[in-house]
Structure 1
Amino acid sequence: MSGVSPVAAYSPAQPSLPTPSPFSFSVASTRWSSRPSIHLSNLLLRSLTLLFSFVSALSLAAPSPNKNEGKLHHGFLAYTEFKYCFIVTILAFLYSAYQLFKGVCDMAYRGILISDMASDYSSFILDQLVGYLLISSSSVVVPVIQQIEQSTSLWKAAIVSVSMSFAAFLVIAASALLSGYKLCKRIIW
């Protein structure tokens, strides 16, 4: 003990290195496998929302031609509820395309498009908003579908549109839970 300085003998223990966050990745590696599975599942959910909202909007915009020549064919533009559903699914499509693009850019270029904190907050808030709009547009269209004659192509297109819009809502709800988890992980841990 005679060769050890008193400062070194009584110094507190070295602080341990912090555990890396599951949202961080190695600087040396930028491959897809280096990202946590939470990012890959987020990309999968965003692509499913993109697909479902696209099919929902497409089914309203391009119904099959009416087989009954004697009846006047009214498109979805004759009903304000269908217009609302169409606009909401287009907004959900654009939002999902943006989130998918941002997710791919974050994985490829290490998050230079938007900061992680701003991205977590905006994703959580906008997921909630888009989810609300999707479920409200689906619920508004259902009573109108019941009033339309069942043999028309608009009725079939509206059924497909509402089904796909509800599926997009379920997927965006899962995305909202995932973005809420990421936000809580950022704030609390």
Structure 2
Amino acid sequence: MKSQFADRRVTLNMAMFHYTYSNQQFINVDPGTAAQTLLNIPRSRIQGGEAELTVRAGDMVTLRGGLGLLSTKIKRGTVSGVDVSGNRLSNAPKLTFTGGFDATVIDGGSGKVSLHGDLNYSSNQYFEVLNVPRLRQKSYALLSGHIDWESADGRWTASVWGKNLANKFYFTSRVDLLAGFGFDYNHVGTPRTYGVTVGAKF
């Protein structure tokens, strides 16, 4: 469903979905040898819904929000001799949320100055179909924002920006190598970063 109302100041888009997979493919890593093999899960299903809301609160302010609900389940499958029926699929948080705003605070002869902020939240998730408890990523939220300036003629731009402003520690992937190597292989998310960007149009 896609809709606009309140004199087109409010946009609301929503979707629901249900997928049933046969022989869904994924990469399995052997914890003893680190060998990567392509495996099939005989049967799994994914269902959920998404909603996106945009509100033009005024000529200078826009609010944004998004919500995602997801339910995944392996209906039938065996991995490394373990029955994974009933487990969740990898990289599938049950709840995700995004929110943000865009606000123009100055718009005149000296140019335009605008503020932008974003929040991204993800509930807990697994990175593999065995659903090993120690490899689960807990829920986390990331904050980012930027302050932009654009000259009146649109030729020059400048931006002061920051990402992961709360310096949240989180993982983007985790692999079980404990049996063969005595450790887990982890990819850590990008820590707090910030900078200045300047641009010019010719």
- Give the TM-score, by structure 2 length: 0.20
Give the greater-gyration-radius structure (CA): 1
Structure (1/2) with the larger helix percentage: 1
